[in-house]
Structure formats: C-alpha cells, structure tokens
Structure 1
Amino acid sequence: MTAITLPGLVDPHDLLADRQFSMNLARGMEVLRAFTAATPVLGNREISDRTGLPKPTISRLTYTLTLLGYLARDSSLQKYRLGPGVLSLSQPLLASMHVRQLAKPIIEKLARHTGCTVNVGMRDRVNVVYVDSVRADAANQHLPDIGSSRPLLPSAIGRALILACPQAERTAILNYIKVQDRVQFDAWLAMWETDVKRFSAEGFCLSRGDWQKDIHAVAVPIRQPAGEPPLAINCTIAAYRATKDKLVREVVPLLKDAARQLETAQALR
C-alpha cells in the first residue's frame, strides 16, 4: 500500500528535496509550537533544545516573529511568549466551523443531563485539540478549554478520532506515533486494541484514567461531510464521581444520542 501523507504527519527534514516546501516557514511554525500551557515563556536556548534547530537560526526566527506580532519579548527575562497575532489566527478558523454553532446547544444539554464536562475535538498532529467545551464537572482539575490538547492514543476522544478515519489514515497515524515515540506507543497499544474491539461491538471508546488517573471518559466520533476533518465528542468526569459503570450505563446512551443529533443537524442522517 502506498504511504499517505496527512496534515501534520510529516518531518520537515524529509522534505528537503521538495522545492515547493518552505523550510524557513516550517521552522518558524516549529518555534511557535514550542510554547505550551505548561511552558508559556521560553528563551532562545530553550526553544533551540525543543526544536532541534541551531541557536543562531532560532535568534533570527524569534526576532522576525516578534516584529510580526506572533511573539512578545519579555525584556526583564530576555525570553519570549506567544503574541496576540497567534490568537488572531485562530479566530477565523473557529468562526468558520459551522459545526461549533450547531453543537453548542447539544453539548450544553448533554453536560446538564450528565453532570460531565463535554468536549468536541479534532486531530492536530498526534494530539486532540478541543474546538468547544462545556465544563460542567467542577472537580475536573485539568481545565479543558477551547484550544487545549490531549494525546491521541491515551485518551478516549483521541482513540475515537482515529477510529473516525478510513483504515489507511488510521494506519498512517499509528505508524507516525510509533516512529516518533516507540516507548509510549508500546505503552498505549493495549488501550488502543481494547477500544478497537469495544468500538466495533458497542460503538464507543472508554478511558478509566488512561490519560489522567483522576479522570474517566467516554467518547464517540461524529460523522462529518466529505472533505471535512473528523470530529469526536466526549464526556469526562472525576474518577471519584464515576460510580461503577455510570459512564457506560447512563452517559454513553446520551452521548451517542448527542452525536446523532449533531449529524442530523448537518444533514448526515
């Protein structure tokens, strides 16, 4: 089978011979991706360590990105943080996602009826990124919000997103994860295989603290129009509130119904 290339699943250094590929742009994007919620302020050396790019290259890129408004320099620390230009880039995407407007009343109702935090997510490289969230479970200390991310394989919503893809795309995603981090892939493989069987038999994915021990979750994919990226929806709850089989017996039927409502609203049923 010919390997397929999915957005985000490429190594820029494999594309050195591709004359259409802009390496400078790719490096600039890697600088922006080096910043995370856990590490919002970074210096050139730290960015160099995270990206593997030489420090002189990083210095030119951070200088340029600061002048363009995508980075902001903290002169007292001589370090950088993301600038408002990055936030401005995300708004046109979110505003153009009609499915978010359709989903809002559905996930708000689901959150009220289940007491769970409900999230809608899509794939970004090997992570899930939330495009909407209703935080009904105050005990969830992981602060799910729009733009926050979770790894694909260890999370129920991530596994649901992979299962939403055609087989060839599933294989490409799994192979990429295996190459990037074989140790973690091996650690997560059993979770994936269990959910593949569960999804085939029962139509949902389940996490009993796979990603965070204090959070349990169920998730299902949401069918999308042709050409649109896959979406998935989950319900998460603090582990101590997840009484035996509560998520499976009480929440899963409501979660599946919410997914069906959203598919119907998009004329997919």
Structure 2
Amino acid sequence: MQPIHLPGLVNPHDLSADRQFSMNLARGMEVLRAFTQADPMLGNREIADRTGLPKPTVSRLTYTLTLLGYLSRVEGLQKYRLGSGVLSLGYPLLVNMRVRQIARPFMEQLARETGCTVNLGMRDRTNVVYIDTCRVDQGNVYQPDIGSTRPLLSSAIGRALLLACPLEERQAILNRLRIEDPERFAAELRYWEADQSVFAEHGYCHSLGDWRKDIHALGAPIRQGPREEALALNCTLSTYRLGKKSLAKLAANQLREAVQQIEIASGFS
C-alpha cells in the first residue's frame, strides 16, 4: 500500500524518485521557511546551515527569489529578508477562509467576557499557525498574531488540534514529531497523554504553563466537515493576571460555548 503523504509532513529527500515532485521548488520553499520572527535577516551561509543545502545552491535560490520579489536584499549586510511577495501569497488564503469571518464575533465575545487573548489555529507542518487572533491580554509578551506559530504537543491549542484530526492523520503527525526530535517528543508526550483524559471529561485541553510557564491556556477542537482542515480555538492569559484564580473556572464555559456557536454557524451541529 502506498503511504499517504499529508501536507507538510513529507521529507523531500524521500520523494527524489517521484517524477511529479519538483525538488528545485521544494528547495526554494525551504529557503523561505528559514526566516523566522527571531531571525528575520539571514545570509547565504546561515540559510545553508538551517536548510542543509549547499551554499552554491542557496546563492542561486536567493538570487532568484530576490528577482521574483519573495526576498529583499539588505544592502551593506550581505543578508536577505522576506519580501512583499510572500505577504501577497498569503492574503488570498486568509481572505477566502470563511471560518475566520464566522468565528470572529464569537472570538471577540470570548475575549471580552474573560479578558483572555483568543486565537484560531490550524496545522502548519508540525506546528499550529494562528489564522486569526483577538489580542486582549497585554501581559502576553509572546506576540500572538496572524501567522505566528505554536508547538503541537506543548500547547493547549496544539493538542486540541490533534484531537480535531482524523485518527490516521493524528497518528501520522505524532510519528513525524517522534522522528523529527525524539528527545523533545519523549519530554512532551506526557502533556498529550494527560490532556486526552482532560478533554474526555471536560471538553477542552489545559496548559498550565507547558509551553511558556508564564502563560496558561485552554484549547478546544472545532468540528468541521470531512473535507475541511482541522481547526482549534484557544484562550490564553498571563499567570500574573490570573492570581489564584483558575483559567478553567474563568473561561472554560465561555470557550465551549464559543466553539459550539462557531460549529453551528458553520453548518456543523
């Protein structure tokens, strides 16, 4: 039986014999993904170190991507940063996501009632990527925003997203996480195992500072049709704002209600 290749989980080197797979395109995309919020400017050597690509290959790719507008050269520093072409690529995806328009009023209500920052996320490779956010908690220094990412196993929204996936897809993601970083997987597996019981009893996942010790979060999967990508919703709050209160007592009911209303408005109830 042929393996099922889930988007973002394939290793390009495993597809070298696939005549339909463009290795050059894959390498170009890896160059773009080398840039992060923490490292917005990179030189060819740094990109080569991050991607594992030969430096001459990286030089050709950065030259091409710059001419196409996907990279901008930083004069005087021999470095590059992402260009406006990358932003233009993402906009049609966001604007055509109907669920963002559906979820927005319920996210705003949840944020208003609880004082939490509320985020809507989907999977990007082995992370959660936020596709919308209502930033209320100014104490959250980790800048949740559209396009920012969180790890799957150590975040409440990541574990909720795994629960939103079909069983076969969920297993494939967990296997990829195990192969990608065995040590980290072993350390974070306990969060996933514990939250399955929490979700079965309460209908949400709960992070008590698992990802960042000064941020608590609740996350819940959003049911979608079989052809729709898995989604999850979270609400997060800085621990100093919680004091002795429990985030579950503060926001669990409102989070479950928001998810239910989104599902109903999406036609899944």
SS in 2 for 1:56: helix
Name the residue aligned to 1:173. Answer: 173
Cα displacement string for residues 169-218 of structure 1 (whole angstroms, at most 9, x for unaligned residues): 11100000000000100010101100111112221100011001110000
Q: What is the distance in 1 between the residues matched to 2:61 and 2:2?
A: 35
AA of the residue aligned to 1:102: I
Q: Normalising by structure 1, what TM-score?
A: 0.98
After superposition, residues 154-233 of structure 1 pair within 5 angstroms as: 154-233=154-233
Residues 1:239 and 2:239 aligned together? yes
Q: Any conservation in 2 of the 1:42–1:79 contact (CA below 8 Å)? A: yes
* Residue 8 of structure 2: aligned partner: 8
Residue in 2 that maps onto 1:55: 55
Retained in 2: the 8 A contact 1:4–1:169? no
Structure 2: gaps spanning 5 or more residues: none
Is this contact kept in 2: 1:140–1:215, CA < 8 A? yes
Q: Which amino acid aligns with 2:132?
A: D
In structure 2, what is the Cα distance between the partners aligned to 1:234 and 1:137? 13
Residue identity matched to 1:46: E
Identity across matched positions, percent: 63
Between 236-245 and 14-23, the greater mean CA deviation after superposition: 236-245
Q: Deviations over 1:33-72 (max 9, x none)?
A: 0000000000000000000000000000000000000000
Shift of 1:6: 1.0
Structure-2 separation of matches of 1:141 and 1:168? 36
**Unaligned residue ranges in structure 1 (runs of 5+):** none
1:241-267 residue CA offsets vs partner (Å, 9 max, x unmatched): 224452112301100000000001011
Runs of 4+ in 1 over 4 A off after TM superposition: none
**SS of 1:112 mapped into structure 2:** helix
| RMSD of aligned residue pairs (Cα, Å) | 1.1
Distance 1:170 1:200 in 2: 17
> Is the CA contact (8 Å cut-off) linking 1:5 and 1:172 kept in structure 2?
no
